[in-house]
Amino acid sequence: MLLVILFVAAGLLLSTRPSLACSCAYAPMEVGAVADVVFTGVAHAYSTVNPVERYIVVEFQVGTVYKGPSATRIQVQAVGGRGPSGGLGPGCEYGFQLGQQYTVFAKDHDSDGVPNTNGCFWNVEGPIEPAAYGLASGQAPARNDETVVLSIVAALTVAALAAISIARRQRHAV
């Protein structure tokens, strides 16, 4: 019996490996106060990938802003950010799937102008009830679409060309 215990203990000691653990500093309802940026939007594209630091920059098409800049598109550095989350990994990963709507909580920890997020920010699939997170009701971001400006310029150009054409015809008819 003693021999069995020694072999089991030796097996446990010799098979140990370093482990990583995700330990979150705050509860889900505290992230509204901690985050610099809170918005609901659709994950639109992946851009910069940093395999060393294990993050990917995810671009969101923003529908509602609760905290932070009122922009129609926001980029976020997400640890383990490609694909569905599937729960927290050992490094607090949280994945974003393209085409899916999320409410994102993020903070610019490294002061590079792109807010960071991970599983400890308790991002939510879909919209939230802002009061539950201590946030004011959200607002739609200000639209600063170049297509609207270009459409107005194009319409004015067509109207001006039509007016010039009509004036020329009237002059030639007389």
Distance CA 157, CA 125 (A): 44
Distance CA 75, CA 58 (A): 6
Q: Is 155 exposed, middle or buried (0-12, 13-18, 19+ CB in 10 A)?
A: exposed
Which tops the pLDDT comparison, 155 or 38? 38
Q: With respect to residue 64, please indicate whether it lies within any of the assigned structural domains.
A: yes
| 61 neighbors 41 (Cβ within 8 angstroms) | yes
Distance CA 148, CA 154 (A): 10
Summarised one tens digit per residue, pLDDT across range 124-169 is 999 999 999 999 999 999 776 666 677 788 788 888 888 888 888 8
Q: With respect to residue 173, please indicate whether it lies within any of the assigned structural domains.
A: no
pLDDT at 32: 94
Q: With respect to residue 106, please indicate whether it lies within any of the assigned structural domains.
A: yes
| 64 neighbors 139 (Cβ within 8 angstroms) | yes
Specify the 3-state DSSP secondary structure of 6.
Answer: helix
Average pLDDT of the residues in 99-110: 94
| Residue 52: domain span | 16-133
Summarised one tens digit per residue, pLDDT across range 61-95 is 999 999 999 999 999 999 876 665 554 455 577 88
pTM of the entire predicted model: 0.68
Q: With respect to residue 69, please indicate whether it lies within any of the assigned structural domains.
A: yes
Q: With respect to residue 11, please indicate whether it lies within any of the assigned structural domains.
A: no
Q: With respect to residue 8, please indicate whether it lies within any of the assigned structural domains.
A: no
Specify the 3-state DSSP secondary structure of 119.
Answer: helix
Q: With respect to residue 71, please indicate whether it lies within any of the assigned structural domains.
A: yes
Structural domain count, the chain:
1
Residue 58 dihedral angles phi and psi, to the nearest 5°: -110, 130
CATH number for the domain that contains residue 114: 2.40.50.120
Dihedral (CA of 92, 35, 77, 63) sign: positive
Summarised one tens digit per residue, pLDDT across range 49-66 is 777 677 889 999 999 999
Q: With respect to residue 31, please indicate whether it lies within any of the assigned structural domains.
A: yes
